[in-house]
Amino acid sequence: MIVRIRAGTPDDAETLAALRWEFRAGRTPPTEDRQAFLHRCAAWMRSELRTGASWRAWVAEAEEGIVGQAWVHTIQKVPNPVDDPERHAYFSNLYVQPAARGGVGARLLGAAIDWCEAAGVDTILLWPTPRSRPLYLRHGFTDRVEFLALKLSRAPSRAPGE
Ligand SMILES: CC(C)(COP(=O)(O)OP(=O)(O)OC[C@H]1O[C@@H](n2cnc3c(N)ncnc32)[C@H](O)[C@@H]1OP(=O)(O)O)[C@@H](O)C(=O)NCCC(=O)NCCS
């Protein structure tokens, strides 16, 4: 299957919302009606991709349509008077449909990392699953980090990182 990676656009929102449902509802029983979720998620994605202010996405596109996605949220630091990068990034929602898997996930992740490097991002944060962990380690991610995290909810209904 020939797959190209490109930036996501507002016109992709409906398809990307459906892929989001496939990913998350395929893994954990949903607490929201499918149509309600697709409507809410597509509106959010369309708006975020239109402004481009904090979120951006990359899509994997085959002849038959979009088969995967990855999202990055940039986190602004407080302006700094010294020579320090002024933002971090949060990587999320990496998903490739089963039939298209085999290298496509790495290409989506690589596109996001390339963009972050060019945009002067300091650190990329993400929450791996046990199964996806090797993919991130191969791309240079490490759990030997300097920051602290305070988890405020043990079972959020919509956890970050996915
Ligand atoms: C993660 C995912 C995008 C990888 O897509 P892919 O095209 O197979 O990616 P690549 O071939 O470039 O990378 C293979 C790596 O993906 C990871 N992977 C493979 N199958 C996976 C699965 N079912 N779930 C999560 N990660 C998986 C593994 O780390 C694998 O490396 P390994 O074989 O050395 O263990 C794809 O498996 C997927 O969509 N999984 C479900 C969603 C998910 O778990 N996303 C990650 C959330 S942090």
- Dihedral sign for Cα 27, 28, 30, 36, please: negative
What is the rounded average pLDDT of the residues 84-105? 97
What is the pLDDT, as a whole number, of residue 14? 98
- Mutate-to-test residue for ligand 1 from 104, 131, 143, highest number of ligand atoms within 8 A of CB: 131
106 lines ligand 1 (CB under 6 A): yes
- Mutate-to-test residue for ligand 1 from 101, 139, 162, highest number of ligand atoms within 8 A of CB: 101
Note the pTM of the prediction, 2 decimals: 0.94
CA distance 137 to 131: 11
Structural contact between residues 15 and 66, judged by C-beta atoms closer than 8 angstroms: yes
Structural contact between residues 8 and 68, judged by C-beta atoms closer than 8 angstroms: no
**Containing H/E element for 14?**
helix 13-25
What is the pLDDT, as a whole number, of residue 154? 72
| Residue 64 scores a pLDDT above 80 | yes
CA distance 96 to 119: 25
DSSP state of 31: S
Q: Atom of ligand 1 at shortest distance to CA of 96?
A: 39
